[in-house]
Amino acid sequence: MNSRKLARLIYPEFRFGRTDPEQALALVKLGVGGFCFYGGKASEVYETSRLLKAASETPLVIASDYENGAGQWVSGATELPSNMAIGASGSEALARRKGEITALEAKALGVDWIFAPVVDLASRPDNPIVNVRAYGEDRRLVSRLAGAYLSGVSSQGALSCLKHFPGHGATAADSHLALPVLEKSRHDLERDDLVPFAELAARADAVMAGHLLLPAYDENSPASFSREIIDGLLRKKLRYNGLVLTDALNMKAISDEGRAGVKAFQAGADILLYPEDPSALHEALVRAANDGLINAAAVEAALARQDAFARKLSLSRSSPPPLAVVRCPEHLAFNSEAAPACLAWARGEGAFALKPGETVGYLEPLTRREDWKGAAFAEELVRLGIRVEPFQPGCGMRLAAGVFSRPRAGTGSINMGAEEKAALEAAVAGAASSAVLAFGSPFVLNGLSPRPSAALCAFSALEDFQRAAARVLCGNVKAGGTMPVKLEDQL
């Protein structure tokens, strides 16, 4: 079998500042099908994309995890609010516009394929890797908003990807560190987690299979290596005929990535994403083909799906948007315009209000003043006539506390640690009245004792969202969102 055809199944990473461009060019010469970009300045991403594509004999597809806009990874691009912030707004218009902006900037940078939207359900507060990446816990809300996002992406000529099939939301482990297990019956999975995939798969350009074990379908292999799940559930039961890729093969949820890559292909995956050692994976595929474990017909079918996928880019590739659209004023304005609709009260609406001339104590648990992430929030309060000082308990001071917990791949945690939570609770107990601002995970509000007078969720740490939160506390704007997840104690 032609080894170049096997190489096209592999999409390595290209991490700016770490990956040697010459090594990447060697992988292009080997015949890889594409790359997943991480980081970089806008100009670097643009030039590297052009360099690699020009060197490839087959259509080279550049992908990236721009879930929250290109600015999530690229210096000099626009970062956009989290999916959960959009979920709180309930607005299909905002979801679509997020997709449009992401696609426009990605295409201008030379990135063809966006690994988004996440359509997992935010059904477990302790899930360390989904959380605010999800639109919410309700399957209908997720389907509706993810569908609008897909429309926005496709309208600007970029490619999309639903992830993480068949649904990562109800797990408690980070697949970057360990293999999560989803202990749900087939009935419950098909009633909840699978709904967005079933409703949207026909409109998406690709589906990413997650590294998670679903004993209800396959007791032995994670979804990404399971023929029962990829071929049986996704392709046959859901009648999905498009491109399937694995989640990153370097994750600790799996071990031998060479063997894993072979198993994933045998299960029905068309693309093997981000192996730690692309050359070693290629060698494993060649050995498997020589041993008869991979047949030529299956390879040709996978490459035919890749070719059909790449053909979708042919029209947009001829006239990509100019690089000037990246972080343009119109795109930056989206965040300030969207923020009020995305903020939601978790409790105590109207119970904590600030007026010009008043003093408020600001706190970020276990964080020194010079390291505050909420500088934009504090600055906006000052602009609105509020005096902001570091919080001091027990002196009649009112408290505004900012919490910035968010998913971080490979950490295995999301919400506050015990020490941080204790510091926040002590501050609430020592305040005349208090408001907790969740500029990330809303689940940091679970189990607080004593409970704050009010709790406002922004679901995003973007400066425009911080400023909007300050204006809400001062009564200048209304928080227009509703909570897309339930919290404990009916907060």
Query: Among all residues, which ones are annotated catalytic?
Result: 176, 247
Give the Cα separation of 134 and 200 in Å (integer): 15
Strands 454-457 and 344-347: antiparallel
Q: Which amino acid, one-letter code, is at 83?
A: N
- Report CA-CA distances (Å) from 425 to 23, 348, 401, 413: 51, 17, 10, 20
Alpha helices in 166-208 (DSSP H): 186-191, 195-200
C-alpha to C-alpha distance for 416 and 422, rounded to whole angstroms:
9
The partner residues of 401 in beta bridges, in order of sequence, read 363, 436
List b or e across 452-482, with b for residues whose CB sees 16 or more CB atoms inside 10 angstroms: bbbbbbbbbbbbbbbbbbbbbbbeebebbbe
Q: Is 426 exposed, middle or buried (0-12, 13-18, 19+ CB in 10 A)?
A: middle
User: For residue 249, which phi and psi values (nearest 5 degrees)?
Assistant: -75, -10
**Three-state SS at 418:** helix
